[in-house]
Amino acid sequence: MARTGMDDALLDKLHEYWGYAQFRPLQQEAMTAVLEGRDSLVVLPTGGGKSLCYQAPALCMDGMAVVVSPLISLMKDQVDALRVCGISAAYLNSSQEQDESRRVMRDVRAGEIKLLYVAPERLMLEGMLCLLTEIKLSFIVIDEAHCVSMWGHDFRPHYRELQELKNIFPKCGIHAYTATATEQVRNDIAAQLALKKPEILIGSFDRPNLTYSVARRADRFSQVCEVLDRHPNESGVIYCISRADVESLSESLNNAGYKTRPYHAGLPDQERAANQEAFIQDRVDAIVATIAFGMGIDKPNVRYVIHAGLPKSLENYQQESGRAGRDGLEAECVLLYSEQDAMIWKRILDDQPDESRSTALQSLQAIQNYCHAFDCRHRYLMQHFGQDLEQDCETGCDLCRGDFQKVDNALEIGQKILSSIFRQDQNFGSSYTAAVLKGSKDKKVLANRHDQLSTYGLLKQESLTTIRHWVNQLVSQKFLTKTAEYQQLRITDSGWKLLRGEVTPQLMRTTQEVKSDKTRRTKNDLADLNWKGVDKSLFECLRSLRKEIASEKSLQPYMVFGDTTLRELARHKPKSLAEFLEIWGVGQKKCDDFGQQFLECITSFNG
């Protein structure tokens, strides 16, 4: 897109208030739509920079912008983060005292606010709408816009009332933002909000700064510790399926000297909130949590997300793992799974009505297939969400890094497995099939007289785990399917082709079997690049200073400066305020407020 006078004005704001020098992908287009007063629908992944798409234009336009957000717990943080940058912002929601909300209304009336965050139910009150017709309204933002759609994963009835906005403010641009939207949800958002010829901008869902890896869970505690040890003093989230697992894992980690806190819906409210706060304020390293944790968490410097159990769908995985690396710096997502996890989820799903149960089972199979994928994991995730990746990620996932070894005689092994399944009348699941191929003396195998089959013991030199893995890989490549009820394996049309030798599957041995070379697994080119030239001891000093300032000013540490800025400071070691202002992420207001203290810290470190 060619640069215009409008872009220069926007870039000036980006530089002055946030200390950024460039637009991120699609920001320029999204901001232009706002400035031109057109409606828009913008889909960008977590960390893609959606907020700036409306915050920067708001500063270029007359009047006040209204931002509708369902996340009451986040509003204060969003407003605090804007205020430290020198932007006049405020919020209105049910968590406020009356006095405070009256003060905000007065400031709005006086034209002193540029960005007002409001909960949807609050916005649609008559008094509020009246006030907005009296003042100069620059535009309206609908954040987390998928909440308006019943097809989305987080429908909120109050969002439906926003349909009226277009009638009440026909001349006002309405801008919808979301990170997760299928085409169906997208169309629904545009229809529900009555957007007029909206500019629709859809970014890439890929998160190139995240590295993905998957491993079978053998010894959960030591596998989790292995990841934590790669991230000393860094923040991470560890997801478990059950509350009991959360408690026991957090306790074992603390006993081993790690600093973690548990988080699940069964904890008393106060304790849960305190644990979350300790995590956000960098007072502990990791939070061990059920999926109850995460909604409304904006912490940008989460460097790893470990799933110590299988998530229930790829949508959940995308969202939960997506909490890593919001600041664009390198972060890793590790999934540890066991076949038992799928059984646990199935038991949980047993109570659901048939229709939603069968969709949920499909979602569960999709995440299991991800675990057994053999292609690039970035590509796998993107394809699931209807996009493609131009080239493999090279070092961004365990598969591209070559942590697994391809099996040479995959066709022969695949045929052995499938013919055993055929001879077992396609009536059994993967563990049983593995037992037959292993030549097990299991009572059930003997009772069914499957020790008489010609396939009995055909893979006896392999471990049961390996055989089970291969069966699952064949499922993920669609040579086999599993029945919904009893998980019996059935041969598909492509399975028959495999049996006839017309197609070859891809089979791999797992890390444990290959005895992975640890240095290769931990190698992360992006991390090397992002830390290049950074004085790590100075970085730690700056981190402590950031924590001090944050607690003194009742801010979250990341609002003072993000990790990227601290790394830049520890790389370039500015000597004057003028040099300080040139650092990425330093705007004028933060330079004025914190510059001196950081410069002193750098000078005294240099001794």
44 phi/psi in degrees, rounded to 5:
-130, 150
Quote the tokens at residue 39. Answer: 């409606």
Binding-site member from 35, 42, 44, 108 for ligand ADP (CB under 6 A): 44
- Minimum separation from the CB atom of position 57 to ligand ADP (A): 13
**Upper half-sphere CA count for residue 486 (Cβ side, 13 Å):** 8
Of 19-27, 329-337, 355-363, 567-575, the segment contacting ligand ADP by CB under 6 A is 19-27
DSSP state of 397: B
Of 16-24, 339-347, 519-527, 532-540, the segment contacting ligand ADP by CB under 6 A is 16-24
Binding-site member from 11, 49, 217, 332 for ligand ADP (CB under 6 A): 49
Closest residue by beta carbon to ligand ADP: 49
Of 43-51, 108-116, 419-427, 469-477, the segment contacting ligand ADP by CB under 6 A is 43-51
- When asked if residue 321 is in the footprint of ligand ADP (CB under 6 A), the reply is no
- When asked if residue 47 is in the footprint of ligand ADP (CB under 6 A), the reply is yes
Is residue 115 within 8 Å of residue 55, measured between CB atoms? yes
- Minimum separation from the CB atom of position 48 to ligand ADP (A): 4
Helix (H, G, I), strand (E, B) or coil at 67: strand
- Minimum separation from the CB atom of position 177 to ligand ADP (A): 7
The CA radius of gyration of the chain, in Å to the nearest whole number, is 27
E strand or H helix at 116: strand 115-118
- Minimum separation from the CB atom of position 300 to ligand ADP (A): 5
Binding-site member from 33, 48, 516, 555 for ligand ADP (CB under 6 A): 48
- When asked if residue 327 is in the footprint of ligand ADP (CB under 6 A), the reply is yes
- When asked if residue 24 is in the footprint of ligand ADP (CB under 6 A), the reply is yes
Binding string to ligand ADP for residues 409 to 428, with x set by CB under 6 A, is what?
A: --------------------
Q: C-alpha distances in angstroms, 75 versus 101, 110, 122, 150?
A: 14, 22, 13, 24
Tell me the β-bridge partners of 200. Answer: 41
Binding-site member from 50, 146, 543, 567 for ligand ADP (CB under 6 A): 50
Determine the Cα angle at 580 with ends 579 and 582, to 5°. Answer: 65
Nearest alpha carbon to residue 119 among 163, 66, 57: 66
In 3-state terms the chain splits into helix, strand, coil percentages (rounded to 5) of 50, 15, 40
- Minimum separation from the CB atom of position 18 to ligand ADP (A): 6
**Upper half-sphere CA count for residue 15 (Cβ side, 13 Å):** 10
- When asked if residue 20 is in the footprint of ligand ADP (CB under 6 A), the reply is yes
- Taking the least distance from each CB to ligand ADP, the nearer of 11 and 389 is 11
- When asked if residue 17 is in the footprint of ligand ADP (CB under 6 A), the reply is no
DSSP state of 23: P
Q: C-alpha distances in angstroms, 410 versus 381, 395, 466?
A: 25, 25, 13
Helix (H, G, I), strand (E, B) or coil at 466: helix
- Minimum separation from the CB atom of position 45 to ligand ADP (A): 7
- Taking the least distance from each CB to ligand ADP, the nearer of 28 and 316 is 28
- When asked if residue 466 is in the footprint of ligand ADP (CB under 6 A), the reply is no
- Taking the least distance from each CB to ligand ADP, the nearer of 431 and 564 is 564
Binding-site member from 7, 9, 16, 51 for ligand ADP (CB under 6 A): 51
- When asked if residue 152 is in the footprint of ligand ADP (CB under 6 A), the reply is no
- When asked if residue 176 is in the footprint of ligand ADP (CB under 6 A), the reply is no
- Taking the least distance from each CB to ligand ADP, the nearer of 51 and 419 is 51
- When asked if residue 120 is in the footprint of ligand ADP (CB under 6 A), the reply is no
Helix (H, G, I), strand (E, B) or coil at 323: coil
- When asked if residue 281 is in the footprint of ligand ADP (CB under 6 A), the reply is no
The span from the CA of 35 to the CA of 37, in Å, is 5
Nearest alpha carbon to residue 242 among 171, 340, 146: 340
Of 44-52, 156-164, 195-203, 302-310, the segment contacting ligand ADP by CB under 6 A is 44-52
The span from the CA of 102 to the CA of 80, in Å, is 19
Q: What's the chain's length in residues? A: 607
- Minimum separation from the CB atom of position 264 to ligand ADP (A): 25
Of 23-31, 82-90, 237-245, 354-362, the segment contacting ligand ADP by CB under 6 A is 23-31
Nearest alpha carbon to residue 193 among 214, 168, 229: 168
Is residue 129 within 8 Å of residue 137, measured between CB atoms? no
CA dihedral 56, 48, 392, 315 (to 10 degrees): -160
Helix (H, G, I), strand (E, B) or coil at 557: helix
Binding-site member from 32, 40, 46, 301 for ligand ADP (CB under 6 A): 46
- Taking the least distance from each CB to ligand ADP, the nearer of 18 and 159 is 18
- Minimum separation from the CB atom of position 556 to ligand ADP (A): 12
Quote the tokens at residue 446. Answer: 């003997």
- When asked if residue 562 is in the footprint of ligand ADP (CB under 6 A), the reply is yes
- When asked if residue 205 is in the footprint of ligand ADP (CB under 6 A), the reply is no
- Minimum separation from the CB atom of position 305 to ligand ADP (A): 15
Tell me the β-bridge partners of 140. Answer: 66, 174
Chain centroid, CA 167 distance in Å: 35
- Taking the least distance from each CB to ligand ADP, the nearer of 27 and 510 is 27
- Taking the least distance from each CB to ligand ADP, the nearer of 141 and 599 is 141
- Taking the least distance from each CB to ligand ADP, the nearer of 21 and 168 is 21
Is residue 206 within 8 Å of residue 389, measured between CB atoms? yes
Quote the tokens at residue 327. Answer: 């600041």
Of 42-50, 69-77, 378-386, 473-481, the segment contacting ligand ADP by CB under 6 A is 42-50
The span from the CA of 297 to the CA of 55, in Å, is 19
Quote the tokens at residue 565. Answer: 């800025």
- When asked if residue 330 is in the footprint of ligand ADP (CB under 6 A), the reply is no
Of 2-10, 22-30, 209-217, 446-454, the segment contacting ligand ADP by CB under 6 A is 22-30
Q: Which residue has the tokens 């240099």?
A: 606
- When asked if residue 300 is in the footprint of ligand ADP (CB under 6 A), the reply is yes
- Minimum separation from the CB atom of position 322 to ligand ADP (A): 9
Nearest alpha carbon to residue 371 among 410, 337, 322, 327: 337
Query: Where on the chain is the footprint of ligand ADP (CB under 6 A)?
Result: 18, 20, 22-24, 27, 44, 46-52, 300, 326-327, 562
